[in-house]
Amino acid sequence: MLPDYEISLVSYPLVPNSPASTALPHLERLCDALVDQARREGFRITFFGDSSGGNIAIVLGLYVATQYLKNTSDGPCPVEAVMAMCPATDMRNENPDIYVVEAHDPILSRKVITEVAEGWRAELPASDPRVSPIMADLSVFKQASIKVDGVTAGYDTLTPDAIKFREKLAECGGDGDWLQWEKQMHCFPLLSAFHIHEGTEGKKWIVDVLKRNVNGSRV
């Protein structure tokens, strides 16, 4: 029997009115409050996001890990995992493999992901780790014992950089389970709502990983 858990949906401020420099401070304050609550009530946290939300889940995981490592005397890090479905990991969008995948992506083009990236980062450099987590020191995840799981799709222009992120994470000794499904579209597990086999299996994989991670957490 699984332990109790809660799922909270966070509607964060969006562009163009709220780019990263405006939205992230709000989300960091939310993280600080959630971490304090987790310590008081004894639960653990998993951040989950898809696409741009996957970017934010990773970035907030890095934020919590960095804050935690400044003072580890209060026990384990309240965030125990991050799940990122088809995340945006590099706002530079310079990977040449993007052009290869673009020919097969039915949803996203390099032009689209570049426009979204520019809108989100606004005045921040594309190489800023707060918007491009691939540029961050990913070893903090291992140091804080935060597991980073993810899903990538073969026909998704965000995948080439997400794979590089996954590889860099592994090089830093990071722990995590990743599902790469070739010839699938961006965020294909969401197709489970239409009873499409690959979507159903992708969703099942995510749920199975989350169940293994829970161990008394709130998700």
Q: Average pLDDT, stretch 20-44? A: 96
For residue 185, report the phi and psi dihedrals to the nearest 5 degrees: -90, 170
Give the pLDDT confidence score for residue 3 in this predicted structure: 56
Does residue 148 carry a pLDDT above 50? yes
Residue 21 confidence (pLDDT) above 80: yes
Asked whether residue 219 carries a pLDDT value surpassing 60, the answer given is no
Q: What is the mean pLDDT of residues 162-188?
A: 97
Is residue 39 over pLDDT 50?
A: yes
The proportion of the chain whose per-residue pLDDT surpasses 70, expressed as a percent, equals 96
CA distance 35 to 56: 17
Taking the C-alpha atoms of 71, 76, 78 and 84 in order, what is their torsion angle to the nearest 10 degrees?
110
Q: What is the pLDDT of residue 213?
A: 87
pLDDT given at position 126: 98
Q: What average pLDDT is seen over the chain?
A: 94
4 pLDDT band (50/70/90 cuts)? confident
Q: What is the pLDDT of residues 57-110, one digit of tens each?
A: 999 999 999 999 999 888 999 999 999 999 999 999 999 999 999 999 999 999
Burial of 29 from C-beta contacts in 10 A (0-12 / 13-18 / 19+): exposed
Write out the two tokens for 78.
């309240």
**Cβ atoms within 10 Å, residue 207:** 12
